[in-house]
């Protein structure tokens, strides 16, 4: 578990993080969202002890990260995929990290395989593409088999196969009971990967909520020549109905099956009935603009 309590970070007269508090719990993927400059990367750096807070505190597993005797076994992180010696091979890079914690070669081979890098393990990492560099950074994050995984924009540079791989990996890590915190600017990925969302803006917490709660109720669009009568029926059943032109109704609070059953019960004609899924991007933009 990650706990952030009244965290503040100032750079001169600029406040990058302003009284931020939240808990990232085990067993789910928590998405960390916010516009550029919102304070996401600075917060992650403070969680990992790379930046010292102006005030407040951040703990991993109940202790400041830098105080853990074997930090790679507590939390693994990807903050910068290119943070490596360009002249070393992928295997040499991971072996160097492994030796600092007494981790054996077998584990290095395991994470190389997990990241799909076994075939290129002997190549110099400096010649890797952006996507391969991201895979190597994620392999390094997993090296200590940590209970907490923190990834900053992990899908950057990945091809469609790589995006599917990281999506599956994150879900598996959460299913294993690990704490997973992932920042991303790709709303489509967060919508299919995250269980819970933290949204920040100007260094402040805007939302700490489940994905379904943020998106709110789904809606349905209904077109009917009996729109007026159908509206009365649906409102009586607790729906919120907005009437539009040409017999179009926008219905919230009832699903498509319930709307169809209500129309059939009252012998009302429906020409069109289409569920409309709420958009994470729309909900996110509404938050950061408020």
Going by their DSSP bridges, the two strands 272-276 and 219-223 should be labelled as: antiparallel
Residues of the chain with pLDDT under 50: none
pLDDT of res. 249: 94
In 10 A of CB 270, how many CB atoms? 19
User: Which distant-in-sequence residues (6+ apart) come within 8 Å of 271 by Cβ?
Assistant: 223, 224, 225, 247
Would you say the C-alpha torsion 106, 111, 117, 121 has a positive or negative sign?
negative
Q: Which of 1, 61, 44, 36 is nearest to 196 (CA)?
A: 1
Q: Which of 149, 170, 139 is nearest to 76 (CA)?
A: 149
pLDDT of res. 186: 80
- Kindly provide the residue ranges of all beta strands, DSSP E only, lying in the chain, ordered along the sequence: 2-11, 14-24, 28-33, 55-60, 75-78, 148-152, 179-183, 196-201, 204-210, 219-223, 240-243, 248-252, 272-276
CA distance linking residue 288 with residue 31, whole number of Å? 15
pLDDT of res. 81: 63
Going by their DSSP bridges, the two strands 14-24 and 75-78 should be labelled as: unpaired
CA distance linking residue 199 with residue 96, whole number of Å? 36
pLDDT of res. 157: 84
pLDDT of res. 55: 97
Q: Which of 232, 241, 285 is nearest to 263 (CA)?
A: 232
* Token digits of residue 194: 């995250």
Q: In the predicted model, what is the mean pLDDT of the chain? A: 91
**Using an 8 Å Cβ cutoff, are 128 and 90 in contact?**
yes
Buried b (16+ CB within 10 A) or exposed e, 57-80: ebebbeeebeeeeebbbbbbbbbe
**Using an 8 Å Cβ cutoff, are 116 and 126 in contact?**
no
pLDDT of res. 184: 86
pLDDT of res. 189: 85
Q: pTM higher than 0.85, yes or no?
A: no
* Token digits of residue 152: 């900053």
**Using an 8 Å Cβ cutoff, are 151 and 77 in contact?**
yes
Going by their DSSP bridges, the two strands 196-201 and 204-210 should be labelled as: antiparallel
Angle at 92 between CA 91 and CA 97, to 5 degrees: 100
Going along the chain from its start, the domains and CATH numbers come out as 2-212 (3.40.50.300), 216-279 (3.30.70)
* Token digits of residue 4: 């952030």
């Amino acid at each position: 578990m990650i706990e952030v309590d009244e965290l503040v970070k100032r750079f001169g007269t600029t406040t990058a993080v302003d009284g931020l508090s939240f808990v990232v719990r085990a067993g789910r993927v928590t998405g960390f969202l916010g516009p550029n400059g919102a304070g996401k990367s600075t917060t992650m750096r403070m969680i990992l002890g790379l930046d010292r807070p102006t005030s407040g505190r951040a703990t991993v597993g109940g202790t400041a990260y830098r105080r853990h005797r074997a930090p790679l076994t507590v939390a693994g992180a990807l903050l910068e995929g290119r943070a490596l010696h360009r002249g070393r091979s992928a295997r040499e890079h991971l072996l160097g990290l492994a030796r600092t914690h007494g981790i054996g070669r077998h584990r290095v081979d395991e994470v190389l395989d997990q990241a799909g890098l076994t075939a290129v393990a002997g190549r110099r990492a400096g010649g890797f593409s952006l996507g391969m560099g991201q895979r190597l950074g994620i392999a390094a994050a997993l090296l200590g088999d940590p209970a907490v995984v923190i990834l900053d924009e992990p899908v950057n540079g990945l091809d469609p196969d790589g995006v599917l791989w990281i999506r599956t990996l994150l879900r598996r890590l959460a299913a294993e009971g690990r704490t997973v915190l992932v920042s991303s600017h790709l709303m489509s990925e967060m919508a299919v990967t995250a269980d819970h969302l933290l949204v920040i803006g100007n260094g402040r917490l805007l939302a700490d909520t489940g994905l379904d709660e943020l998106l709110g109720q789904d809606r349905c669009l209904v077109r009917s020549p009996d729109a007026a009568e159908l509206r009365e029926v649906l409102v009586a059943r607790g729906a919120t109905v907005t009437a539009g032109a040409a017999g179009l109704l926008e219905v919230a609070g009832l699903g498509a099956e319930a709307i169809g059953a209500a129309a059939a019960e009252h012998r009302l004609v429906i020409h069109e009935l289409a569920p409309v899924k709420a958009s994470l991007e729309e909900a996110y933009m509404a938050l950061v603009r408020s």
